[in-house]
Amino acid sequence: MPEGRAIFGGLTVKENLELGAFIHKHKASMAETIDDVVALFPRIGERMKQEAGTLSGGEQQMLAIGRALMARPALLLLDEPSLGIAPKLVQQIFESIAKVAQSGTTIVLVEQNTRLALKYAQRAYVLRTGEIAMSGVAKELAQNEEIKKLYLGG
């Protein structure tokens, strides 16, 4: 899922989700996958007939992630899912991302909110000028003094 959401604003929420499900051969499996996305993001379920462009930024982000999940990927790439989102919705989005990971989907997350990324990640890589400067178990990196000083304000 690219940074910036890239939803289809003139289409409904449901139509956006259906576009993500183009690989489904049967309507029943598409409907089941939509149910899974709605269970993950109930706010999206409440707005299925609404034009996607009228959703809040956080809701659009949920829709974009939901659309990506419609393909039932083994690997989900997320670029800055917290960008421009209200803090309350950011927390909900990250909790949902954690549920997706727990269900067996591998998540690769690029995120500038270091504190949040380290809280939810299993493994982390710190990039400086395009090169890996540090890597390791996320919980251990969160306790690293250099990481605390440079990225966590501590």
> For 45-88, what is each residue's pLDDT tens digit?
999 999 999 999 999 999 999 999 999 999 999 999 999 899 98
Beta-bridged to residue 125, according to DSSP, are: 135
- CATH 3.40.50.300 assigned to domain 1-111? The reply is yes
Q: What is the pTM of this model?
A: 0.88
Report d(CA 118, CA 140) in Å as an integer: 9
pLDDT at 1: 58
Are 125 and 151 in contact by the 8 Å Cβ rule? The answer is no
Q: Which two tokens stand for residue 122?
A: 């299993």
- Locate CATH 3.40.50.300 in the chain: 1-111
Count of C-beta atoms within a 10 Å radius of residue 106: 11
DSSP string spanning 29-51?
HHHHHHHHHHHH-HHHHTTTTSB
Residue 109: pLDDT band (50, 70, 90) is very high
Distances (CA, A) of 113 to 25, 68, 84, 138: 38, 22, 11, 13
Count of C-beta atoms within a 10 Å radius of residue 85: 22
Report d(CA 27, CA 53) in Å as an integer: 25
